[in-house]
Amino acid sequence: MNGYIVEREKKTEITRTTEVLVAGGGIAGIAAAIAAARNGKKVVLLEREYALGGMATLGLVTIYLPLCDGEGRQLVFGIGEELLKLSIAHGAEANHPHAWLDGDSLEERIKNRYMTQFNPHLFALRAEALLLELGVTVLYGTLACAVTTEGGAITSVVVENKSGRSAIAVESVIDCTGDADICHLAGARTALHDGGNGLASWYYYFSGGKVSLKMFGLADVVPGRATEREAGGEQNGFEAVKVESLDKNVRFSGVDGEELSRAVIAGHGKMLEDIMSHRRADEAFVPVTISTIPLVRMSRRLVGTYTLDETESRKFMPDSIGMTGDWRKRGPAYELPFRALYGTEVKNLLAAGRDISVTDAMWDITRVIPPCAVTGEAAGMAAAIGSDFARLDVAELQKRLTAQGVKLHLD
């Protein structure tokens, strides 16, 4: 049946008012909520699933990629480092960063990058507890579906959950959805990733008396199990590797509902085949948990006031809000400009995490945990200072970030 229906006009009740609304409870959203709450703001965090962490926990992409440049220099501090330590508060699953946490030599820090592998469930629970301690209101099972605007600013975000449809009045909004959903709804300029996303579906399994992670398709990094080195790739026990999609014929944008369902189903089918092949060889092989969200790497992002490119390694940014390295290889270091977090169309809207304004080439660098935490912290701090972000006092923002231990520049 084709055509359309006309829905009956209805009033949507404003059920909450908040100073800062954070949409998305992944790493960027967690960092943004922490920063805003610690700086005295009333914060509401929306999360469509029923646990925090996004790809890092529900997607089982449990690799906390490097906080360093691969040459022994730490780049990510502040909440980005705090969350790494939180993720392994009860022990690392693999790659405990002893060289960095135990004060080892520069030689050891070069040999062993500042990264780790963590348990997704413990991390999600610890992150939730931290946000609740800070007074953040977490609304699970809640999806932002519309916004109202006035004078170039968002005045409310319309949400839907088990209670139905309601609105939250806001002073500012931080889009940490990973797909720039709020940016899109508010009419900010956005762009889609040209290459789309390949198929992956990670899972944990029990075999040989222990639980292990199966990086099933499109792994970010597999230390010690390299199959193909990137040009200029890693040495000394850390290698960035290319892992093919589970199905070369499947590419998806990440912003189409039916397409996402097809991708998830295809991933589940490949996963079942893989599990059953292992069980034929070992009856004791059993899956423990599977990724419960689609593994979307790059989908839709903000087109901001500045668009950062991977060629700008070690370039001075006067409005830097933190730094990140390149998880794929040693050497590059990027100052992240505040201008990449906001556009010109909506004055009280910031992007963080995968949503920030970068080229397709740079997107593969900024989509991972450390830069997501860096941009999330900066966005939350900015929202604690004001709500007209193009006019924000960047010097004050930098001063506050520095006071929290964030390093802004390479020198």
Given a cut of 50, whether residue 233 has pLDDT beyond it is: no
pLDDT, position 1: 65
Q: How confident is the model at residue 18 (pLDDT cuts 50, 70, 90)?
A: very high
Alpha carbons 86 and 127: distance in angstroms, whole number: 8
pLDDT, residue 222, reads 45
pLDDT at 62 over 80: yes
> Can you tell me the distance from the alpha carbon of 174 to that of 398, in angstroms, rounded to the nearest whole number?
18
Q: To which H or E segment does residue 262 belong? A: helix 257-281
pLDDT in tens, 337-368: 999 999 999 999 999 999 999 999 999 999 99
In degrees and rounded to multiples of 5, residue 396 shows phi and psi of: -65, -40
Whole-angstrom CA distances from 139 to 45, 132, 174, 244, 268 are 6, 11, 15, 36, 28
- Three-class secondary structure of residue 227 per DSSP: coil
Domain ranges of the chain: 14-195+298-403, 203-290
CA distances from 325 to 172, 224, 289, 301, 333 (A): 29, 20, 31, 20, 4
What is the pLDDT averaged over residues 206-216?
Answer: 94
Nearest one of 169, 177, 218 to 196, comparing CA atoms: 218
Q: What are the tens digits of pLDDT across the range 276-310?
A: 999 999 999 999 999 999 999 999 999 999 999 99
Burial 364-382 (b: 16+ CB within 10 A, else e): bbbbbbbbbbbbbbbbbbb
Mean pLDDT of 169-181: 98
- pLDDT for position 9: 83
Bridging pattern class, strands 203-207 and 210-214: antiparallel
Q: What are the tens digits of pLDDT across the range 33-51?
A: 999 999 999 999 999 999 9
Instruction: Give, as one character, the DSSP assignment of residue 271.
Output: H
Least confident of 131-140, 143-152, 231-240, 395-404: 231-240
287: helix, strand or coil: strand
Question: Mean of the pLDDT values across residues 233-247?
Answer: 59
Q: Which amino acid is at 345?
A: E
pLDDT digits (tens, 9 = 90+) for 86-108: 999 999 999 999 999 998 899 99
Q: What is the predicted pLDDT for the residue at 224?
A: 44
Q: Which CATH number among 3.40.50.2300, 3.40.50.10540, 3.50.50.60, 3.40.50.800 corresponds to the domain 14-195+298-403?
A: 3.50.50.60
pLDDT for 8 equals 82
- Residue 241 has a pLDDT of 56
